[in-house]
Amino acid sequence: MDHKLYPYQQQILKDIVSGGIKPGELMISLAGRQLGKSYINQYMMHWLPEAETPKYKVGSQALVDNKPWYTVHCSKDVANWVRQQPGEDKEWYHHISDKWTVYYDAFDIQEELYLMLVLKFGK
């Protein structure tokens, strides 16, 4: 059985081997359903918001017992940092967020902890 490449397959192989693919060029070399440009586009659009979002985002602010509290939506590393914070009183409360595809977790945190978060991770 003779395995012969089509001309377009020869060009793809030549580009891959010679490094002839231009920077930023997307080349699809897979076949079959859900493996083409639309699938790659769907995959990239799913993760794009996470890549472009800041490490945390303040959702809302409220006074609780005359002290300011903030609802903060966090990335994974910020969420792990919040969980490790000690304190006599519980300075944070974890809750379920509807933004879990973009942010890892959401917390209600006291103002002092929020200020530490801003100092550590920036504004």
Question: Who contacts 33 (Cβ-Cβ below 8 Å, separation ≥6)?
Answer: none
**Counting every residue, how long is the chain?**
123
Q: 43-84: per-residue pLDDT in tens? A: 666 666 555 668 888 988 999 989 999 999 888 888 889 988
**What is the distance between the alpha carbons of residues 108 and 93, in angstroms, rounded to a whole number?**
5
Coil, helix or strand at residue 63: strand
Using an 8 Å Cβ cutoff, are 74 and 107 in contact? yes
**What is the distance between the alpha carbons of residues 8 and 81, in angstroms, rounded to a whole number?**
51
Enumerate the domain spans of the chain. 7-50, 54-121
Q: Report pLDDT for 115.
A: 93
Report if pTM > 0.75: no
Mean pLDDT for the chain?
75
**What is the distance between the alpha carbons of residues 64 and 92, in angstroms, rounded to a whole number?**
12
